[in-house]
Every structure is written in structure tokens, then in C-alpha cells.
Amino acid sequence: MIKKVFKTILNTIPRPILIRASYFVRPVLAFALKGNRFTDPIDGKSFRTFLPYGYGNQRNNVLSPSTLSLERHRLLWLYLKNETDFFSKQLKVLHFAPEQAFYNRFIKQKNLDYTTTDLESPLADVKADICNLPFESDLYDVILCNHVLEHIPDDTKAMQELYRILKPGGMAILQIPQDLSREKTFEDNSIIDKKERAKIFGQYDHVRVYGRDYFDKLRRIGFKVDEVNYTAKLSKEEVEKYCLAKGEIIPVCYK
């Protein structure tokens, strides 16, 4: 029943409205699902279960009731916290389509000169097209652009813009939904039915399914790319406790 309700909500209510509504829903969900089986490392709160999520095939036990983080958010948080100086060094950061799980925390970090950007998000400081960004070249120490490129028809131009505005020596984390069993990225613009697109691409507004060739495409743009399998550094118990997707790759890119 819960899965069906969440699927209906995701497929019928526009995302900007969902973002605003979630501020009222989150405290109720967090209270109702309190427990000690699973923990969200972003806020340290524990629950007896996480919520299902997905536009096409829903995944069980993946959406944190408190931060609304998914597997990829929790994995990225652990990586930034444990393996980088993101929370301690003075950094100029640009965050595309800022996720709620991160936004309120990053904006409070005194070490970060933090700017958000998106075409539609109510959390965006700058409304901008990722293929034609209004920022100077070599400007940002860190760029976070996660689960955005799969929405962009001309992802080559978007990648070029991301490379342009990143400082030499800077870091860009460019997560995408990826099928690692697929060698080549798949696109088919002839599929226009929303349900069919959700089934094939994972979400009705995705334009492709990235394969393993994603990393080499970033390299052709000019990035040095580290394919970080961070769950391999965590114990089996930690992967289960934090509800992570074992084997998910974080594309950590440098200029």
C-alpha cells in the first residue's frame, strides 16, 4: 500500500511542489518510523525501516524518513566526510539541483562559499541552464551535479560547461543513474509514453540510461576521473545499516 501511494505521488505531483510539501511531511514520517535497525548517517537518526522510492520499479527500504536521502546521497555524504576536506577547507562550491538532504547542512558550513543553481528548484540561488552557465571560467573548487545529466538532451555541452567553470585542480562529483552491466549508454527519443519511459529509463523525464562508457566520455571532455567504489571500503554491516547500494560508483572528476 505504501509503495503504491508513493509511486502515485511521485508520478502526479510536480517536483517543486513535492519539495515544499516535504518540509511538513518529514517530521511526521520520522516520528512514525523511529527504531534502531537502520541509520541515516547524514543526521544520525535511526528507524525501523526506510521508505520505498522509484518512478518505475520501486526500490524498497531506500528513502530516509528524516532527511529524505536515497542510497546515493548517504554514500556521497560518507565519502565527503571520511575521504575529503569538504567540511574543513575553505571552498567555493556550486551545487546543481540541490538535494534537501544536503542543502540545509551545506548552507550552514562556514568554510563553504556555497551557491546553488537549477532551472526549476525553489532551493536554487541562480536560475540557469547547465548548457549555458552564467559563471566565469575556472571559478569553483567543488562542483556537485548529481542525477542531473540524465535529464539533459545535450549532455556533452553540459559536461563541457562543468569543466569550463571548475578551477584547475578542482573536484566535480557527477553522479548519474548507471547500469554497470551495460557497456554503452542507451538513448531512444522515439519512446514518448511516460510509463514506458519510466520502465526503460528509470524515470519518465530521463533521456538515457548511462553505461560503463560514461566515465570515458567525461575523460574525453578533459576530466581526470576516479571511479570510486566506496562501498568496497565499508563493512557489510555498514552497507546494510546505512541502506547503501553495494557497488555503486561515485564519479570523482578533477581538472
pLDDT one-digit tens code per residue, 79-111: 999 999 999 999 999 999 999 899 999 999 999
- Quick one: pLDDT band at residue 29, thresholds 50, 70, 90? low
pLDDT, residue 221, reads 98
State the amino acid at position 14 in one-letter form: P
pLDDT, residue 223, reads 98
Grid cell digits, residue 212: 560503463
Single out the residue of 51, 60, 59 nearest to residue 22, CA to CA.
Answer: 51
- Quick one: pLDDT band at residue 231, thresholds 50, 70, 90? very high
pLDDT, residue 196, reads 79
Q: Domain 72-254 is of which CATH architecture? A: 3-Layer(aba) Sandwich (3.40)
Question: What are the strands, taking DSSP E only, across the chain?
Answer: 34-39, 46-47, 51-53, 59-63, 91-96, 112-118, 126-127, 140-144, 166-173, 224-228, 250-254
pLDDT, residue 135, reads 98
Contact 182, 209 (CB under 8 A): yes
> Is it the case that residue 183 has pLDDT exceeding 70?
yes
Grid cell digits, residue 26: 518529514
Domain ranges of the chain: 2-68, 72-254
pLDDT, residue 13, reads 42
- Quick one: pLDDT band at residue 9, thresholds 50, 70, 90? very low
- Quick one: pLDDT band at residue 26, thresholds 50, 70, 90? low
- Quick one: pLDDT band at residue 3, thresholds 50, 70, 90? very low
CA distances from 69 to 18, 43, 126, 155 (A): 14, 10, 23, 25
pLDDT (average), residues 33-50: 89
Range of lowest pLDDT (54-58, 83-87, 159-163, 172-176): 54-58
pLDDT one-digit tens code per residue, 56-83: 667 888 889 899 899 999 999 999 999 9
